[in-house]
Structure 1
Amino acid sequence: MKVYTTQPFQVIYSLFEHEYLGYLFESFVVQVNSKRQLTLQHQNISIKNAEEFASRLNETDFALIELMDQIQQDAVFKKFAVKKTTLADFFFKTYDPAKGDKLLQETIDHYVQSRMSKILDLLQDKMVFVMGKDGEPTWKRLNMATEKATVLFHFRRNDDNTHYFPTIKYKGEKLEFQYQDAVLVCKEPAWLLLNDCLYSFEKQVDGKKLQPFLNKKFIVVPRNVEESYYQKFVAPLVEQFDVYAKGFDIKSERYTPQPQLQFSELAVAEPSPALFATAGEDDEEEEIRNSSEDDKIVFQLSFKYGTYTVGTQEAKKISVSVEKTPDSYIFHRLHRDVEQETSFLKELSSRGMDIRNGKAVMDRPKAFGWLNSYAKTLEEMGFTLKQSQSDKNYFIGETSVNVGINETNDWFDIYGTVRFGPYEIPFIKLRNHILTKRREYKLPNGQIAIIPEEWFTQYLELFAFSEGDDELKLRKHHLSLVSDLQNGNLAHVTMSRKLEKLREFEAVEDQPLPVGFKGELRPYQKAGYNWLHFVQDYHFGGCLADDMGLGKTVQTLAMLQHRKENGAQTASLLVMPTSLVYNWLAEAQKFTPQLRILTYTGTYRNKSVAQFKHYDLILTSYGIVRLDHEILKKYMFDYVILDESQAIKNPNSNTSISIRELKSKHRLILTGTPVENSTLDLWSQMSFINPGLLGTQNFFKKEFLRPIEKLKDEHKTRRLHALIKPFILRRHKSQVAKELPEKIEHVTFCKMTEEQEHAYEETKSYYRNKILKNIEEQGAAKSQFMLLQGLMKLRQIANHPRMADPAYEAESGKLGEVLRLTRNVVSEGHKVLIFSQFVKHLDIVREALDERKIKYAYLDGSTKDRQAQVTNFQNDPKLPVFLISLKAGGVGLNLTAADYVFILDPWWNPAVEAQAVDRAHRIGQQNTVFTYKFITKNSVEEKILALQDKKLQMVSDLISTDEAVIKRLTKEDIESLLS
């Protein structure tokens, strides 16, 4: 029957009993007649149609309707039926007396009961009825009790058993409810329907405690289960409700709470092995896991009331314990001071310990750091601190450290004392603990002291960089570390005036140029020359890392001439790539003609250091040092200088090992790119000029390389810069060489020919499917070789498909564009450097130039007379093109005759390309330098260009990376490259 909203109507709520779900309410609207009486005309109302009747509903009605919707059988079925089934089957099978799902029944029961409780709380002042058996919703009107009833539980302990029953009072009068057809319409908490009235109870009575007594006078508890029953059932009742007892005692007791904080170890499970770990990473991760103690410490708060101890899991006002006496039982009803307990919790919270459910869990280092900070204060506030029984007895007293650093002739001596309570421990005893991150230190009395967490950061570098077994010593080049310790109040420092002056210096002193130096130094070159004196005076090794073309050679030669004129006792050794030997010789003859120079190269060189006494400077190559290191290490050089020092970037290579064995008073390295592939390149070079500056290789990998490269740790990056900054001078051309002409860069996009595009797409599809499948099966780390192989093929085809397939006979879009621009440049009287990473590519360009009768110079790794090629290009106006392989000619060449530079193929590191451009854009260049980078459209070259900026920025301009980027490409990056 439809209820009309144009006529009076009333919302009512009707109680009915469901076969499975128990007592439920349903909402209805009922038409009202002219006498304001409810009629039989009614309809069900739900949240779907409630808005139609909004004129007679308030917020409570809407809340009630929504709650009642949630407990109807359709809603319950929809929420809890997991398998596809009918509503009838679901309820029949779930509630089957023999095979029903008991756990699901309990879940549904709790769901329904919690909503029934909310409904009953909202029904005050509403029209409530019992539904008739015929479905009539207004069959019988119900009243809602205006006050809450109370329950008193009675226990009578007799000789043989205990009788137990409740009595109910309403408005002070006993309510007879037994054998009165009363029902519990809700049990969580109890709502009792008696004589057409709905009663609720104070103290949230559990309906299950009343249910047995609706049709029973009392329950008998036999003597043989009495003790268990009293502990599990009676004690909780005594805590929550009024209890009348006969035959045993209930004593109320009150005390002042005394807080107790107990701590114990909580072991954490071993971490799972990492999936797809690359070779070498497993050991590193294992080392990190083993070196850290990840166990947790759990704190448990309890309160002592007299002789009783209670936990804080529940903030109960009353706690009950049962004492069995020879004749009976005593229930000790302890009144807790919840307000005082809360104040103690707040004290802990204000000090960073958040107790939940009576417990707090902290990492071991943090836990003992917390105890060291607050133990004394808490004890003064009345807390008792104790640890649970375990194999270890931890020390939780006061902890302090006192470190002193004194400068001696060649070192800083380090001394200090650590105090754990009454025990004084020499500072050096903590060395291995700090370096290996072992936090536990055993005291003489057997207790275990936990080293404060901050010491592992504050003193890690001090221990890592110090030398000596019985005494700690630091080299002088660790002055910045010593200053940091002093500035952080972590050490008392005593040093000489000279070092104090160094620490406070603002500018490097100006030094006169040597008399025998022929030429002039530009202002920034003179500043570099002064800086070389500065590091020399303090016996530090230096790294001159100016941009390519700023004159590192001439600054170094001026310094070497000064050494000659100021009585250097032995020769200096200058080590470089073979291709640069004659460049250095030519520059030395020009600027420092008085230097006696030996070119220690060639198959027939005189392998004797005795000859060195007749010379001021020995020029040699890295290869010769590697071959002759047993001879060379016998001589004490004045300087050992490494040009293009990235040649020793691999610290474990034979070249690096041989170089480190050389002896000298001073050490200097020259490089435009201190780091090419990894921060380990930096460690290798800095360890040559200032041994021990960055600690051992393993320490550096763990504390700097991994955090910087893998975790992008900015703090570690800044810290590494701070350590190396005093020993590196780096200037950019844009900062200092104002006289250099402008450098203009273009990116020229080249469209593939139709045949080239077909070859490219075919190869891309093949490798894309193969690589992505490999990544899915084995992980990105184990797919690197295949990825490099695929990228190489695609790069070759993007340049010219003939590089990958000699049988290819069609054209290349890029070659056509390169030849067009080359013709234009040459016809206008300019000279151009053409760089490629692929000798094969240069061969193709070479062949095309031959066909067009364009003359060129050529240089790759196999070129014998490199200098002749350079000289010819620089001096012959009829030689307009210089073809150069990037690897062989990207550094060390002066090619200022050219004012155009073509880069034929991009790769990850823009710094390598910049070095190539700087062959032309360097001191001596009079013209604007135009750089053209050729990129094949819709190829992997475009993607590489996009990834350069995203992937390469690591540590300002000092640290960049090359093929190592491949290792850090994500699956998404790889998909993008191959898309």
Structure 2
Amino acid sequence: MITDFTEEEIFRSSSKEELKRLAARGQLIWKGKKIVLDPFTGLEFFYRIVPAGEKYAVHAKMKMGSREEDLSSCEAVFAKGALQHSIFRFWKEDIDPQWLQSRVLDLLELKELIEKPDVPQLIWDCPVPRFKPDPLPILKLKDRTGAFASLWMDYGLQGKHPMKGTPEEIFWEKDLLETDFMKKIVGESHYYCPMDKVVKSLTFLLDVGWTIIDAQGKKVVRQGAADWAAVSQVDHVLVKGKVAYGQHAADVKNVIGAFNRRDRFVNLSESDVGLLDFPAEWTALAEEEIVAEGIAVKRHHVGLLEDITPLPPEYQAAAWEEVLLSDNFLGKLFDYQRKGVQWLSYLFRSRFGGLLADEMGLGKTIQVLAFLSTLKITQPVLIVMPVSLLFNWKKEFEKFVPSLQVYVHRGEDRLLDLEKLKEQKVILTSYAQLRIDRLLLESMDFEALILDEAQAIKNPDSLTAQIACRLRSPFRLALTGTPVENRYEDLWSLFRFLMPTLLGERKEAPVLERVRKKIRPFTLRRTKIDVNLQLPEKQEQMVWIGWDEDQRSFYDQYLKEKRNALVQKVQAQGISSQKMEILELILRIRQICCHPQLVSGEYAGESAKFERVCNDLEEAISTGHKILLYSQFTSVLGFFRKWMEEKNYSYAYLDGQTQDREKAVELFRSDPNIQVFLMSLKAGGVGLNLQVADYVFLYDPWWNEAAERQAIDRAHRVGQKNKVIARKYLMAESIEEKILKLQGVKQSLSENLLEFEGEIQPISLEDLYTLLETI
């Protein structure tokens, strides 16, 4: 109030000039105080806007020159001006009294304020809000699969509504269509996603901030990390855990249960569901039983857990207890072989089957022998193998576990009395004999059942495979050096024998990765590379081969006829006169050991040695090794050339007729596809450098140890990075074995006889009978 007039009357009716006159006469008074008028300093009015939590503070401000002050510092504020410290100053322009106060507004109130046409100047101390808010997308799913959906928009305080097609909304639709959703009107749904793409598409949308509502009106939450634990129980492994979904956590049994029901979501609360994003490794758990405490995983399925959660301690490699080898075991083991024995003992204690698949030459047999030496055998151990391996196994038992009773079940004099057969500790037999005596062997219970060269049962429809599966034993072991992990049919047949329920029914479509996980705890395979540091630089192995019946019969008949005639001549004329006949006969029966067709083109049977070496070649080739194969006989090399060409294997070749020796050598050295070098002893000569090879096969021994070492050392030279394994192949109970026994005591004799060098030394009839005796 000024003088006798009210505020309204003065500011609505009085002009600035009139106020100036009143001030000049001293008639402007406020609350008893005279007001001084400053007509020269004009005031500017404006709003300064600052954030106030989720709202905005609108501060009324005035500015005098460069000085800014809050309107609250004034004693009075009027439409014409403001009174501060008893000085009245005019606004540069009259102000509507509705603006002359500070306030706190929400977004909508602020929007209404600034949209008024006469709003004062605004100065923002924060980002200017979008008063026409960009919509946020909401994907509303129309069914339980999540494949059908409609697009809605969230305008915040302005509400939610179906998409109308504004530019802002089309922007979000483009995002949706960049996933696997596509436009497709089906009922109330406007978008469709192929079933197998739903999880990927919904997960992406959740990751970039979309809101997704399921068909029940619940908010969809993205799946987070899982926390697992596995606890060993009496007959299973109990798996527990939680899966994170935002602020929620779902029990793993509920997650697996939802997956089994083919649900897309797992219920979390009255308002939220979790999107099931099921990793491939979890799918294996869908086969297991859901119990109150969690998921009961079969003991022999523990391999499925390796990529999910640490196994219980007793299922880990660290649980392979150190095995105290029996004093009856006379061999020495490398560290990796000790680990193999520990693994076998672990399987035996746990009543699991196992596949020992170490690469050729790493000693699968000696590991089995060391393991068997630790057992208290109360029932027979049955070991089945190709007939050619029977003698080798018997020799290995005699060498490493001589105290263990070993019986070879073969031939006409074999035991057919069940009770007598049950008295045996270890029974060795062949796959052929297994088929013949299947009823007898199927009626027995065995302490352990072992198949060597177990690829013999890789065809599950074969009679051999079916009989093997019917044999009874709580512990089954298969031995093979051939990698089979990528051939499901072979694996399935092997594990039907080892652990019949592990891989399910044969008709089930295999998921190879799941199969590998299932078999991993029960498969042990080491390669030369894996154990390279443990192997000696050069390892020589003797491979004893049993006879094929036709080949044995041919050998015996030929030797009998020729020996009798030779003995008569020696008795009549003396040994010195029969030098060439002796050498000729020894040569021929050695050739029969290699292959009877070297002596008789009419022979139509098999050669046990040739078949065994072909098998070893195939195994070494399949695992990427390079092999030198030596024979004294070019005809033997010819058999191998034919076999390799039939198998489509590339090879290098060198004999006395080869014109370009260096070309053959360089071909083997430099071409990775040429893994076999067929070489005759004489043509190999001296000075060849073949250190790319890491296997040496000596097909027919020539008894001169220096010559053998020279052949092996062509691979084992300076610069050789891999360890060399040399394998000498010998026919059991043959002249090869007899000469090997004489080698130590009559070295000069054996060299003269078999190398055709120097003068033959006089030998007695006893020596002759020893070498040429029918065995």
For the superposition of Structure 1 and Structure 2, which TM-score range results when normalised by the shorter chain?
0.3 to 0.5
Which has more radius of gyration? Answer: 2
Normalized against structure 1, the TM-score is what? 0.38
